[in-house]
Chain A
Amino acid sequence: MGEISLLLIVGLMLGFYMAFGIGANDAANSMGTSVGSKALTLFQALLLCALFEFLGATLVGKHVAETIRKGILDTGAFQGHWQDLALGMTASLLAGAIWLHGASLLGLPVSTTHSIVGAVLGFGIIGAGVDAVNWAKVVTIVLSWLTSPIVGMIMAFVMVTFIHRLIMKREDAGRAAAAWSPLFVFLVFAIITLSAVYKGMPRLKLHLPLGQALLIAGGVGGLTAFVAWAFTMSRRRNAREPQVESIFRGLQILTACMMAFSHGANDVANAIGPLAAVWTIENGGDPGAEVPVPLGLLVLGGVGIIIGLFILGRRVIETVGTRITELTPSRGFAAEFSCATTVLVCSKIGIPVSTTHTIVGAVIGVGLARGVAALDLRVVRNIIVSWLVNVPAVGLIAGGLYWLGKLAWS
């Protein structure tokens, strides 16, 4: 591998910067409610978030990264002139970063996922024409953008109702909560493990089919559930009456970690997907081939997210946390579990979704189950508007930058 190309260096820097922005922008999604309900201090939240974002990015992040690298555009359209694809991917990263920065300055909420997908689409259409786009995939992705908040909403609604009927309504709510908590712990750990293990460990040369993956996930889940059960038992032996909300406070911390994990899994690709394409091309490979995304790139993305989280994300978490003081831990738990599960499933099947919109959907689900004192539904309208603006805008910027790059290079 002779000289390292300028494009690759720029790509690496932009990829890192994009990851930084992702960490800064989306950190509050997972940790905001826990900091608001005082289940975690800001510093604890930052530490846990960093750890789980990194784990999610490196263990499960490859699937969505691969979609962005080669699933949106038909890389074959660039056969023979790979440099253009590399240039375009770099342009996409730059466009995404500019859009993120600009929107943050203007105080507009922005979805990093929508931005990068829009950017890649934009340069693809301008660079290689409409036929270069894998429209089937794009339609699937856009449909997921619509369905993931709705799925989150329905799941959260069901969970809040379930928790209310089976736990909150009872006179001995504390005991009921303690009794059900091992199941919740099981679910959280089983789902995280399953997403990491099923079809996820090629490096260890383990190709686990679904059955074995389920067994492992079930095992880990069962183990942690047992620990939770033993913990509640020991508390009971000290004759301390279990408090419902303090039990859910603990569960909420778990689901906050789960959310950070799922966010890392889904969003690291927004920075690393395009970079992976550039990396492969600059190393002389075929970006459309079934070569997995290099672990090093995922690590780079993870580190970028962590740094962005610590430097800028902390303020977003604080701001969001001060506004969400009235969401009780049980409701926070329901919303986060629903969102994290939805995002993880999407991550596993390689679909990039917006974690922000999904958690909004989940909180709306909680609100519809009457778990929120005042739910401002104007947010929904703003989100829909942002969809319609976000994608074309970034697409145009990316297309424009690509075109400028082509001019400069020739």
Chain B
Amino acid sequence: MHPIAALFGKSPFGPLVEHAKKVHECVLLVRPITDAWLAEEYDKINLLRKQLSKTEHEADIIKAEIREHLPKSIFLPVNRMDLLNYLKAQDSIADSAKDYAVLLTYRQTRLPEALHGGAREYVEKVIATSQNLCELAQQISELMRKALQGPEVRQALEITEKISTQEWESDKIERRLLQDMFAMEREIDPVSIFMLMKIFDSLGRLANSAENTADLLRMMILTR
């Protein structure tokens, strides 16, 4: 191969965009899964869970490929470790989404009608948080693909504050939801309470991962 062509190594930034898209695909499935759960359509949950697992696995493959093609001899416009840490955090978002789906398939855990509203609010907030993160990730990776460093980058990074705020808001919603749940704990069997806590916790971890990823993405860009 011509030396000039050989100089331009395989850039991880294209695959990073793909990974962000795949992760977001996983997160978007949380909505129909929640709808099916609240409508008690347990077969549908299973189908969607399989789909989410498949998508999460595809994201894993992209992650492995990125790691494979980053030998020490490749010089990147960002710190290699920062990039890998950010990738790991982004991947954990998909993991949390999968956990949510899997928990719902262990048993037919019914959510009382009174808590439906709060649950939907929570899910929407978590999805919104992750959505912002995935858009940011795609934007930044596109900019890095062309090794751009101008004001567009700094502008893009301003979204991280919004992501932080949304994560905090989702925490508040979760708190209220759990308080409401414990307020009616006599009407819910203990096993369901146990499972509901794990289910809501997985959503909390999803939002957390999104915020964490945004942070690491920001660090990767700003501390070069």
A residues adjacent to B (C-beta < 8 A): 28-29, 32-33, 107, 109, 164, 168-171, 173, 316, 319-320, 323-324, 326-328, 331, 356-357, 359-360, 363-364, 367-368, 370-379, 382-383
Q: Which residue of the partner chain, among B3, B10, B11, B75, contacts A383 with CB atoms under 8 Å?
A: B3
B77 to A370, Cβ gap below 8 A?
yes
The reply on B191 being an interface residue by CB < 8 A is: no
The reply on B146 being an interface residue by CB < 8 A is: yes
B residues adjacent to A (C-beta < 8 A): 1-13, 71, 73-77, 144-151, 224
16 residue pairs from A and B, CB less than 8 Å apart: A28-B4, A168-B149, A169-B149, A170-B151, A319-B2, A326-B8, A326-B11, A356-B3, A360-B7, A370-B77, A372-B7, A373-B144, A373-B145, A375-B76, A377-B73, A379-B3
- Residues on the B chain within 8 Å of A356, using CB: 3-4
Q: Which residue of the partner chain, among B2, B11, B150, contacts A374 with CB atoms under 8 Å?
A: B11
- Residues on the A chain within 8 Å of B3, using CB: 109, 356-357, 360, 379, 382-383
Instruction: Give me 17 other A-B pairs in contact (C-beta within 8 A), A28-B2, A364-B7 excluded.
Output: A33-B4, A107-B1, A164-B149, A320-B2, A367-B7, A370-B224, A372-B147, A374-B9, A374-B10, A374-B75, A375-B7, A375-B8, A375-B9, A375-B75, A376-B9, A379-B3, A379-B6
How far is A364 from B4 in the complex, measured between Cα atoms in Å? Answer: 10
How far is A374 from B13 in the complex, measured between Cα atoms in Å? Answer: 9
B13 to A320, Cβ gap below 8 A?
no
> Which residue, B11, B71, B75, has most C-beta atoms of chain A within 10 A?
B75
- Residues on the B chain within 8 Å of A371, using CB: 77, 147
A374 to B4, Cβ gap below 8 A?
no
- Residues on the A chain within 8 Å of B13, using CB: 373-374
A370 to B: closest C-beta gap in Å: 4
B87 to A: closest C-beta gap in Å: 15
A363 to B7, Cβ gap below 8 A?
yes
- Residues on the B chain within 8 Å of A367, using CB: 7, 75
How far is A360 from B8 in the complex, measured between Cα atoms in Å? Answer: 10
Given A328-B148, A364-B7, answer yes or no on A373-B77 (Cβ-Cβ < 8 Å): yes
A368 to B75, Cβ gap below 8 A?
yes
B156 to A: closest C-beta gap in Å: 15
- Residues on the B chain within 8 Å of A357, using CB: 3
How far is A372 from B74 in the complex, measured between Cα atoms in Å? Answer: 11
B67 to A: closest C-beta gap in Å: 14
A382 to B6, Cβ gap below 8 A?
yes
Q: Which residue of the partner chain, among A327, A360, A363, A370, contacts B149 with CB atoms under 8 Å?
A: A370
Given A328-B148, A371-B147, A374-B10, answer yes or no on A320-B76 (Cβ-Cβ < 8 Å): no
- Residues on the A chain within 8 Å of B11, using CB: 326, 373-374
B78 to A: closest C-beta gap in Å: 8
- Residues on the A chain within 8 Å of B10, using CB: 374, 376
- Residues on the A chain within 8 Å of B149, using CB: 164, 168-169, 370
B147 to A379, Cβ gap below 8 A?
no
Chain B residue nearest to A373 (CB atoms) is B11
- Residues on the A chain within 8 Å of B146, using CB: 326, 328, 373
How far is A370 from B224 in the complex, measured between Cα atoms in Å? Answer: 9
How far is A169 from B152 in the complex, measured between Cα atoms in Å? Answer: 9
How far is A107 from B2 in the complex, measured between Cα atoms in Å? Answer: 8
How far is A367 from B11 in the complex, measured between Cα atoms in Å? Answer: 12
B5 to A372, Cβ gap below 8 A?
no
B220 to A: closest C-beta gap in Å: 13
- Residues on the B chain within 8 Å of A378, using CB: 6, 71, 73
A363 to B: closest C-beta gap in Å: 5
Chain A residue nearest to B77 (CB atoms) is A370
How far is A328 from B77 in the complex, measured between Cα atoms in Å? Answer: 14
Chain B residue nearest to A331 (CB atoms) is B147
How far is A109 from B6 in the complex, measured between Cα atoms in Å? Answer: 10
- Residues on the B chain within 8 Å of A368, using CB: 75
9 closest Cβ pairs, A-B complex? A376-B9, A370-B77, A373-B11, A374-B11, A375-B75, A374-B9, A323-B5, A109-B3, A168-B150
Given A164-B149, A373-B13, A374-B12, answer yes or no on A324-B74 (Cβ-Cβ < 8 Å): no
